[in-house]
Amino acid sequence: MGDWTNIKGKDGEFRAYVAKPQGQAKGAVVVIQEIFGVNAVMRGKADWLAREGYWALAPDLFWRIKPGIELTDQSEAEWKQAIDYMNQLDKGAAVEDVQATMTAARGWGAKKVGCLGYCMGGYIAFLAACRTDTDASVAYHGGGIHTALGEAGGIKKPVLLHNPMKDGFIPVEALNTIRETLKSNPLVTIYEYAEQDHAFTREGGAHYDEGAKQLADGRTIAWLGRHLA
């Protein structure tokens, strides 16, 4: 459904997968990758947003390490490699790449541009909410958000968090801290999923739950419709 384009960033050019909607776009969404790169799952998320009427751009955030990394969650070796790439990634530079991608989308004519990330990408989406000119930010099971709550004062536009409360990668204490710290901020909406584990919306993943995914995605589309369309 989509194609690849080059984005000019502060440190050089990098590729982004772009999925375009049929007809007039409601807005644009930067899709921020998990630790596995812009793989088939992430391209599928961009395609889904395009079907919902948005330009969707998924930048290759690992380009400084090695362009074009694509892994799956189906083997222990790939998990190990993915975690290594995540640890190597300069998260601040990744946020700048997200900003560059949003700027490109605005240059193509998108009036409003948001970002939406999963796992590591959820953390980067939260940082983008605090540091960039995004019009809206969505994070699915964003690992590490609890370590960045000191930046929450920088949030100027709406933020939506999807937090599974039985997340094997994010301690429930961290999720509780996120809720308690942000609950007084009128720009932040948090949905908690009591029985869900990490990456419950990743098709083919060990913790995938179709019903919970449909619930979360429906909330996301309604929310994007309010803040971007």
| Residue of 135, 167, 197, 209 marked active site | 167
Tell me if 125 sits within 8 A of 116, measured CB to CB: yes
Question: CB under 8 Å to 23, separation ≥6 — which residues?
Answer: 53
Establish whether 146 is a catalytic residue.
Answer: no
Separation CA 9–CA 11 (nearest Å) = 5
Task: Report CA dihedral (87, 65, 4, 198) to the nearest 10 degrees.
Answer: -10
Q: Which residue type is seen at 3? A: D
| Residue of 198, 207, 209, 227 marked active site | 198
Q: Which residue has the tokens 């369309």?
A: 229
> The tokens of 49 are what?
């947003």
Q: DSSP characters for 15-42?
A: EEEEE--SSS-SEEEEEEP-TTBS-HHH
Q: 10 Å Cβ neighbour count for 24?
A: 6
Separation CA 12–CA 222 (nearest Å) = 35
> The tokens of 122 are what?
């959820």
Establish whether 209 is a catalytic residue.
Answer: no
Nearest to 64, CA basis, from 38, 84, 94, 99? 94
Catalytic residues: 167, 198
